[in-house]
Chain A
Amino acid sequence: MRTGIPARVGQYAALLAYLAFLAFPFLWLISTAFKPPRELGSLHPTWIPENPTLDNFRQAFDEQPLLDAASNSLIAALSAALIAVLIATPMAYVMARRRTRLARAATGWVVVSQAFPLVLVIIPLFLVLKNLRLIDSLFGLILVYVVWALPFALWMLVGYVRAVPSELEEAAAVDGAGRLRTLVSVTAPLLAPGIVATGLFAFVTAWNEFFFALVLLKTPEKQTLPVILTHFIGAEGVADLGPLAAAAFLATLPSLVVFAIVQRRITGGMLAGAVKN
């Protein structure tokens, strides 16, 4: 069905408004990161800094170990994403293809596990990790991130597996492919966008996570970026706005880069025309 020009204009206007809504905080963050203190206190703030400065970045790097923190965050987030995907993918395949009671129970567990608020689990979790000598260790934090991301990752991947028509696997079997060959050559490539999306979800969740990192890591050299960012905030919520914006801007970059690299894999319509409906 062809859409009329006014409707099309309306659609684009709505899309543009939505984009502006989404982009506003990020653009404001960039603008703030380059403003000197005097402009931050101005009654009539401007989008483009009148006297742009890199002082906020210098101060942010001088005051806090941003590079160490970024490297810790990267190790934690990449490891958590990788492990979560490695565990969730085979589980999701079984849960999607075998409709047994166990699979249904596992699905129920996934839903229930999402209902526990963070504050409820933090102290028991702290004690468990302490007994395992995993407090103040990035490995401990990665384990927590994996467990925390796993239910939702599983949930996502089950949906992706179900979207891969089982007829394709049957066709491969008819052509003489064994179980493993079918999984590796037929199912896995079609699942790639789902795996990438799930990995990205786990990565971003771990990259942004604050509370576990705050509570579980003690040594300054091991702290992650979200924890370090709060060091720019003082008593009664007073913030050192310029350096905070500069550091927060840098902290969003890795997520943006990762997303930019993998987004084509997520949006690629690999299944288009695979089967006749």
Chain B
Amino acid sequence: MRPHRLMRARRLLVLLLLLAGCTSGGGSEDGRITLRFQSLAWQEESVAVNKELVEEWNARHPDIKVEYVQGSWDSVHDQLLTSFEGGEAPDIVHDASDDLADFAYGGHLAELTDLLSERLKSDIPQRSWQTATFGDGIYGVPFLQEPRVLIANATWLKESGVRIPTPERPWSWGEFRQITEELSGDGKYGVAWPLKEPVSATLNLSLSAGGQLFHRDAEGKVEIRFEAADEVVPQTIHDQVNSDASASGSTLGSGGSDTLPGFFGGRYAMVPLGFSYRQQIVQQAPEGFDWQVLPAPAGADGLTQGVSPQTLSIAEDSPHKEEAAEFIDFLLRPRNMVRLALGDWMLPTGTEALKDPALHTAEHDWATGTALAAHLRSAPAQSVRGYPEWKDKVATPSLQEYYSGAIGLDELRERLEEDGNLVLARYQR
């Protein structure tokens, strides 16, 4: 290379490095506190509401500036873990209650009991606080949640003449099985279960039949027991797929969105999905397609369901915990909680917010979902240490094999209990 070319290359390199280097920096400005709020909002309306609320806060609080940082559900755990370990975490962290256990026990999240206002503490019911309680402390403010519901082809159900369930008079699991069988035939199915993640769906719905699966003794040790009440939901699904041919076997490995084309195309009469899927349905349903939201079937414990609400937490390393708690309090004022809920097509946890007329309309069946809010409980396993490993190594493959008909109920029980308790034992020594 000729000397002047070498010089040119060198200059270019220096320029690139300067370009890259000069963009670093940040931090708080003179005297003003800057809080970083990492939000996982991702839908257009939801992102807009979150940003609006941050702007409103900043306009009213010139001394405490909140910076909106966009996170992603897809990678939040790894990203937060690294940030916490490196002491670079955002001050306010948006996540879900089933992802908090490791961070709470690991000392990365601030204990919130003394930081939160009395208004907020009394507004959110105890059953919701339980979802973010680990040990004796509260490590997140649960603020949005969604029940699993049946999204149904209203025309199909009406023409078949079956009884339409309501939150006051839901179907029992037995009735649900019978009705899906009635609706099936000629390559059509009464229901399509999207069970790509079979564990949380099964455990959360099993609460309706009284299935606990995880039993905690007086010393706090957890044991897995797959009892008669735990069998109701898995057995119904298994029989629908393998005996009655009333549920499509091909959707067992699918995510919720993957079942929608078949639902719109008249292949499935119902799809069990999270309440927020309504947004996708409104966007994607063919013109004139009539759909409705039905409550999931009820069991011995009625419409009870497990949920892992979305949460807001404060990083233990944050030097401005009180200000961060003030911001959370602002974000979760009843009117703001409603705005967040509407943006995400979910239900708020706050009792005041739940009274808002916007959540009781027949449009998009908001009222049906809101009527289910009182039945939502903490997902059974989320505070159990070792649950993620049990889920990935034991429960997911076992349930997948059971639902596809490869193994029977006894084998399922044996694997969940014996293999499962071995996994949990390692975390409870």
Contact = CB atoms under 8 A, between A and B. Distances in A.
30 contacts: A37-B283, A38-B283, A40-B284, A41-B260, A41-B286, A43-B265, A59-B44, A64-B70, A75-B19, A79-B16, A79-B17, A79-B20, A122-B82, A126-B85, A130-B86, A137-B21, A138-B21, A142-B16, A184-B2, A214-B78, A218-B26, A218-B88, A218-B90, A220-B68, A221-B23, A231-B72, A235-B96, A235-B310, A236-B255, A240-B44
A235 B77 CA distance: 12
A232 B42 contact: yes
A238 B265 CA distance: 20
Interface in B27-77: 36, 40, 42-44, 47, 68-70, 72-75
A194 to B, nearest CB: 16
Given A82-B12, A220-B68, 11 more contacts: A42-B264, A42-B265, A44-B265, A64-B70, A82-B16, A83-B13, A126-B82, A126-B88, A140-B24, A221-B23, A231-B72
A136 B72 contact: no
A38 B85 contact: no
Interface in A92-132: 122-123, 126-127, 130
B255 A214 contact: no
A5 to B, nearest CB: 43
Given A37-B284, A214-B75, A230-B75, A82 B13 contact: yes
Interface of A: 37-38, 40-45, 59, 62-64, 75-76, 78-79, 82-83, 86, 122-123, 126-127, 130, 133-142, 184, 188, 210-211, 214-215, 218-223, 227, 230-241
B86 A135 contact: yes
The 8 A-B pairs with the shortest beta carbon distances in the complex, nearest first, are A43-B265, A41-B284, A137-B24, A139-B20, A230-B72, A37-B283, A138-B20, A139-B21
Contact of A75 (B20, B70, B260): B20
Given A138-B23, A238-B255, A38 B73 contact: no
A136 B42 CA distance: 22
A73 to B, nearest CB: 12
A220 B51 CA distance: 13
A122 B19 CA distance: 25
A133 B74 CA distance: 27
A215 B79 contact: yes
B376 to A, nearest CB: 16
A218 B24 CA distance: 10
B43 A240 contact: yes
A105 to B, nearest CB: 28
Nearest to A222: B23
B256 interface: yes
Given A43-B264, A123-B85, A233-B42, A139 B72 contact: no
Interface in B272-313: 274, 277, 280, 283-287, 310
A78 B17 CA distance: 11
Contact of B24 (A43, A78, A139, A211): A139
B147 to A, nearest CB: 14
A238 B257 contact: yes
A238 B24 contact: no
Contacts of A237: 74, 196, 255
A43 B42 contact: no
Contacts of A136: 24, 26, 88
Contacts of B74: 230, 233, 237
Contact of B88 (A59, A78, A135, A238): A135
Contacts of B12: 82
Contacts of A231: 42, 70, 72
A78 B16 contact: yes
A239 B257 contact: yes
Contacts of B21: 137-139
Contacts of A221: 23
B329 interface: no
A54 to B, nearest CB: 16
Given A86-B13, A127-B86, A234-B73, A63 B19 contact: no
Nearest to B10: A86
B82 A123 contact: yes
A260 to B, nearest CB: 23
B44 A227 contact: no
A188 B1 contact: yes
A138 B24 contact: yes
A25 B36 CA distance: 38
A152 B314 CA distance: 41
Interface in B89-139: 90, 96
Nearest to B194: A236
Nearest to B9: A86
Given A227-B72, A233-B42, A134 B260 contact: no
B261 interface: yes
B319 interface: no
B87 interface: yes
Contacts of B285: 38, 41
A78 B36 CA distance: 30
Contacts of B23: 137-138, 221-222
Contacts of A238: 255-257, 277, 280
A241 B261 CA distance: 13
A41 B256 contact: no
B262 interface: yes
